[in-house]
Amino acid sequence: MYKKPKLYIITFILIFIFAFVLTSCKSNQEVPIENYYNYLRKLEYPRIYTMLSEESKEEVSLDDFCNRYDNIYSAIAVSSMTYDLVSTDYVDNLCHVFFILNITSDKLGEFVLNMSTTFIKENNSWKIDWEPSLLLPGMSDGDIVRIASTPAERGEIFDKNGNLLAQNAITTTVYAAHDKIKNDESLIRVLSPILNIDESEIRTKLEPFYEKLEKSLEDTNDDTTQEYSTSSNYVILKAFPKDKGPTKEEINTMLSIAGIGIDDDYMTKIRYYPNGSIMAHTLGYVGFMDTKEAAQSENLALPKDTMIGKSGLEKKYEMELRAQPSYKLTINDKYGHEKQIIVYKKGQNGKDLRLNIDLDTQIKAELLLMENLTSQMHGSVIVLDPYTGSIDAIASFPTFDPNLFAFSMSQQEWDYINDPIKAPLYNRALSGLYPPGSTFKPFTAAIAIETNSVSNNFVFKEKIEDDIWIPSDKEWVYQGIKRYARTPGELNLSNAITFSDNIFFAYEALQIGRTTFYDFCKRFGMNEAIPFDLTIPSATISNTENISDIKLLADSGYGQGELLITPLQMASLFGAFANSGDVMQPRLINSIKVVSDNQYNLVEAFEPIIWKDNIIDSYSISTLTPMLRRVITHGTGKSVYLSGVNIHGKTGTAEIGNDESREIAWFIGFVKGIDPKLVCVTLEVPAQQGDVRFIIAQELFR
């Protein structure tokens, strides 16, 4: 007996058939533009080639096809890409597709390409009827894609009064125009002795340009991509340091040779430091990118011959100082004539750094180091405003001339730069970690005052024999504490500060106790690095998370033990005695500015910042300040005394490990008032030769 099928079964079958037909029609109609985009985004050019029609494949080989894409998209330096489908227009076996590529390029920024292509039905599949316009819109067979770059100016560095410290300059350049040379061997023989370059080196410089000339003369219809700058038609044979170029006679001889030119206007731009070695460590220097630097993401778009910051402010503020060149992406015909501009990205000059440095003070500090330190002495000077943290001068000795890095160095210059003893590239003001010695004694006294560990009126009366004191504590199993000169009168706080008595401050530290002393050192920032425009290492209280024994505690009380600190951080800490207990963050940079639309615009200004507030209470400051003045009038700092100048300060002498032949000689002092100034002199000297610090400090206060 026949049964009618149930209604829901019939409905299901009809829906299935309808969906199948619809899907079949859809797959039969839609072109695979999504596939093309995905392959392009992933730079999978061979897979794009599989999408081409048979006729297109006859017109272009796989290798040629992939090279064309790779040449263009590599030169553009595409970092990301998206697409938007605009429309698809089906006509018989053809489909015209219009879409937009949204491209982000490391060189060209963000730009849009309005693209179109035609798909053709082959064997029931859609294939691309490929044309060069699918590389870039408007491109035809035989066209050349070019990316031209025009350099912009790197930002410059100025002192507080507008004096240039690092600038862009042009130097004398001897170059060869390869298409004008008539006799290269004759040219090489004449130039070699004048330029002081081996003949083989000149020949090597010229060879790539002959190859380039030959290649440019080849008659080819290939779509190629060329990247060039304004100097691509020339080869630079030698650039000379500023004011050290060839003589007039040598210039005339070179200019008589066909193909040789001399440029003083634009060809070789250098980073020039007009004051030579002055402030070299802080400014730093620039140099060509090495392989590792070129591979960093922020440098991928830069030409390989780009100069970048290698040290100092040049390195730390590279991204602010860096200029952004102009780029123009064009389609040119096979003769080089420009047909169409695809993208133009306007360049931007780098930003200028305006420093707090006073060039006159900086020069004075550097000259004082040069004139007073022997070849066996090293050291640094810092001059700052304790109220604001503004750095007036910061100098390290020995120093170097950063202009050396713009050109090839002589062997003598290279040996000096790499001298392991002098270490002229080492910035002792920022990187040197030293025991603070007696400059830390006022801080120990401040801890004792605030914690009431030792009365201000306390007089030390325990037994001292041959300037050695042995603590009576049962934990003490060590040699005694030694002082280096007898303190006149009774051994109280004032005299101990004035004459820098180790025994008194070792005693105070023992009375304070290990935990309290350590905690106060942390309050002073002795376990961290003070924030600064350049990187500095962290100060150290001890090699562990605490002060391990009472011997280390006693030694720390007078600035030895395992205490280590940089001159910059110690100078800043000492400023708390002048600045009501607050430690200001030291600051080199005053502001960042840039030229834009013919105006000099402020980008960022840096206001004074308190790093540590109230590390010393007001009572301790009022107690200790007169004693710091007495150091200058009656004590170990008498050599810095100047009539009419109210200097407060502290001397210090620290040992370098177990080496008794050398020592660290410190002096830190300040004047308060309308024109506040703090001076910190830190010297590495042979033992007993540290008095030179007083000459330097006094002249800076004078």
pLDDT in tens, 346-401: 888 999 999 999 999 999 999 999 999 999 999 999 999 999 999 999 999 999 99
3-state SS of 369-387? HHHHCCCCCEEEEEEECCC
Mean pLDDT is lowest, of 147-151, 194-198, 205-209, 308-312, for 205-209
Angle, helices 502-512 vs 514-523, to 10°: value is: 100
Mean pLDDT within 154-172 = 93
Contacts of 388 (CB under 8 A, 6+ apart): 584, 587, 608
**439 near 650, Cβ under 8 Å?**
yes
Mean pLDDT within 89-114 = 92
Mean pLDDT within 236-265 = 82
Write down the mean pLDDT value for the chain: 88
Tokens found for residue 254 = 């070179």
Chain-centroid distance of CA 547 in Å reads 36
Percent of all residues in the chain with a pLDDT value above 90, rounded to a whole number: 65
Q: Output the pLDDT for position 44.
A: 94
3-state SS of 409-442? CCHHHHHHHCCCCCCCCCCHHHHCCECCHHHHHH
Please name the residue that has the structure tokens 């731009």. Answer: 269
**112 near 103, Cβ under 8 Å?**
yes
Mean pLDDT within 256-269 = 80
What are the distances in angstroms from CA 495 to CA 507, 652, 669?
A: 14, 15, 18
Question: Which has more confidence, 244 or 600?
Answer: 600
Nearest Cα to Cα of residue 315 among 271, 359, 348: 271
Q: Output the pLDDT for position 232.
A: 53
Cis-peptide into 241, omega within 30 deg: no
Is pLDDT of 196 > 90? no
What are the distances in angstroms from CA 39 to CA 44, 129, 447, 671?
A: 5, 17, 69, 70
Residue 116 DSSP one-character state:
E
Tokens found for residue 151 = 């350099």
* Element at 316 (helix H, strand E): helix 312-316
Q: What is the CA radius of gyration of the chain?
A: 37
Is pLDDT of 514 > 50? yes
**419 near 426, Cβ under 8 Å?**
no
Tokens found for residue 446 = 């401040």
Tokens found for residue 252 = 């005339």
631 dihedral zone (left: phi>0; alpha: psi -120 to 50; beta): alpha
Question: Which has more confidence, 545 or 443?
Answer: 443
Tokens found for residue 402 = 């950063």
CA dihedral 21, 23, 29, 30 (to 10 degrees): 170
Residue 529 DSSP one-character state:
P
State how far the Cα of 148 lies from the Cα of 327, in Å rounded to an integer. Answer: 6
Nearest Cα to Cα of residue 572 among 321, 389, 364: 389
pLDDT band at 299 (very low <50, low <70, confident <90, very high): confident
Q: Output the pLDDT for position 209.
A: 53
Is pLDDT of 13 > 50? no
pLDDT band at 543 (very low <50, low <70, confident <90, very high): very high
Chain-centroid distance of CA 290 in Å reads 15
pLDDT band at 155 (very low <50, low <70, confident <90, very high): very high
Three-class DSSP category at 551 = helix
Burial class (CB in 10 A: 0-12, 13-18, 19+), 648: buried
Strands 94-105 and 109-122: antiparallel
State how far the Cα of 8 lies from the Cα of 6, in Å rounded to an integer. Answer: 6
pTM, two decimals, is 0.83
pLDDT band at 691 (very low <50, low <70, confident <90, very high): very high
Is pLDDT of 10 > 70? no
Q: Which residues share a beta bridge with 103?
A: 81, 111
CA dihedral 515, 519, 524, 529 (to 10 degrees): 100
Percent of all residues in the chain with a pLDDT value above 70, rounded to a whole number: 92
Residue range 70-87, pLDDT digits in tens = 988 888 888 899 999 999
**680 near 701, Cβ under 8 Å?**
no
Residue range 414-463, pLDDT digits in tens = 999 999 999 999 999 999 999 999 999 999 999 999 999 999 899 999 99
Residue range 32-82, pLDDT digits in tens = 999 999 999 999 999 999 999 999 999 999 999 999 999 888 888 888 999
E-strand spans in 450-544?
Answer: 459-460, 468-469, 481-482, 491-492
∠ Cα 192 195 201 (to 5°): 55
Q: Output the pLDDT for position 366.
A: 97
CA dihedral 676, 682, 683, 684 (to 10 degrees): 180
pLDDT band at 226 (very low <50, low <70, confident <90, very high): low
